Chains A and B, each alone.
Chain A
Amino acid sequence: MALIEIRRLRKLFDGHPVLNGVDIDVAEGDVKVVMGPSGCGKSTLLRCINRLVEPSSGSIHFRGAEVTGPDVNVRSLRQQIGFLFQQFALYRHLSVLDNTALGLRKLKGMKKKEAAERALHELNRLDMAGHRHKFPAHLSGGQKQRVALARALAMDPAVILLDEPTSALDPVMAREVAQLINRLHGEGVTMLCVTHDLEFASAIAERVAFLDEGIVQVEDRLSVLYEDHAHPSIRNFFMKQERSS
């Protein structure tokens, strides 16, 4: 059984369906990429998984249990799911080290010293230990995204959801993030990433799912989607990407 199984997921905002029957599986150890045009519901999809957004209908199984089930503890569900935001969302009043250690102390109940050691270990893993005393305002975008990743990894999540992790980065930094994701993939970290950055998508996955008009239109190798797909909206999407990059 896959780590995450999404079936016929629907989400309506004000009676208008944004997700209209999405099916997606994420297997353990997998890096799954979902692409789609702006406003197609990529963020909404990720937020349904950790219940930042309440699904309207359908099912999401995480580790075999329905996430909207009556006796699900939402806070413990969220602790098992890392989340990376487009705008990094580092806590700006905390240093790099404290950003990484906060969850360990307040949610995992670690002592200050233990949490700092664990946080430092994760920062080291992402080459950010040297910046541990800096504040977010003094980091570049790529460095911020590394810290956000370290912060997520420190919690030892079963999966990390990435919401357009490169759209606020320049191409060089985006490539760095892609390398990092590939490295983590190699270490066995499971990830579900939504993006509309074609270069980034092709750097981290061979296959992508294409989300549009509320459903996964197709899931296939990027080269197939890119070159000869009959569906006009998909061709259109990838043509536009080509021109803009």
Chain B
Amino acid sequence: MAFSEMLAQLASGAVFTVLVTVACCATALAVGLLSACARRVFPFPAVIRALDLFAFVFRGIPVLVLLFLVYFGLPGAGIRVSPLGAMMLSLGVISGAYLAEVFRGALDAVDAAEIMAAQSMGMSRWQVFLHIELPQMMRFSVPGMVNEFTNVLKYSPFGYTVGIPEMTKQALVLSSATLRGVEIYLAAGILYFLVYRLLLVGVRVLEKHWRVPGMGPAHLQDQPV
């Protein structure tokens, strides 16, 4: 088998890797945002306790255990989940629990006086969240989100255990067929790195677009007056 053919097969796996990563990141984002929103819009003790408990429990469960529970366990209870769905419900939700913590910290960094100013204008809790807390929270959370999305990429090979033909799976197949494991896994590693770089570039573009003087990393700041 020519090396170019092998690369093509790895690349076909990379498409699934990106698919799994994007789907799980989207799930994580949805879970994290929902949690942050509930925390601020319904700040009742019961809601806060439930959110804390969710984050606590799901950050403690190994991804693989939850994945198997969803994919192999749930059918026993009559619920069938697709491989991608199972990845979203395990890796996606666990990452969502981590993101919820990232967002919680970012929400705490929003100036209480600004929140009070918005309330004193007559905004509802939802409006305060939407117009003041959310936009600031997202900007404060960039480093934490990059971290979490990178983790999702690195956990995406678990998709192979439920039959998703992603990149690691392809590398495994190729190396057992050709016995050229070193080159193949090296190539796979480089491809993972490229996907990672792509993710970073995407974040940088967004960051630049949303950049606000006075918010975000110090090295991007102009000097204040």
Question: Hey, which bits of chain A sit against chain B, CB under 8 A?
Answer: 50, 52, 75-79, 81, 83, 85, 87-93, 102-103, 106-107, 134-140, 148, 155
Contact = CB atoms under 8 A, between A and B. Distances in A.
Contacts of A79: 121-122
12 contacts: A50-B120, A75-B123, A78-B122, A79-B121, A85-B113, A85-B117, A92-B111, A102-B131, A137-B212, A137-B224, A138-B213, A138-B225
Nearest to B112: A89
Residue among A77, A93, A102 with the most chain B CB within 10 A? A93
Interface residues of B, number: 26
Contacts of B120: 50, 52, 78, 81, 83
Contacts, number: 81
A107 B117 CA distance: 14
B212 A106 contact: no
Contact of B212 (A83, A93, A139, A155): A93
Interface string B118-158: 11111110010001100110010000000000000000000
Nearest to A134: B213
A90 B213 CA distance: 13
Contacts of A106: 123, 127, 131
Given A106-B123, A106-B127, A139-B225, A91 B214 contact: no
Interface of B: 111, 113-114, 116-124, 127, 131-132, 135-136, 139, 212-215, 221-222, 224-225
A90 B122 contact: no
- Ranked 6 nearest A-B pairs via Cβ: A137-B214, A79-B122, A89-B117, A78-B122, A89-B113, A83-B120
A83 B122 contact: no
B116 A85 contact: yes
Contacts of A85: 113, 116-117
B136 A93 contact: yes
A146 B215 CA distance: 21
Contacts of B127: 106-107
B119 A91 contact: no
Contacts of B124: 75
Given A85-B117, A93-B132, A137-B214, 12 more contacts: A75-B123, A83-B117, A83-B121, A92-B114, A92-B136, A93-B139, A93-B212, A107-B127, A137-B212, A138-B213, A138-B224, A139-B225
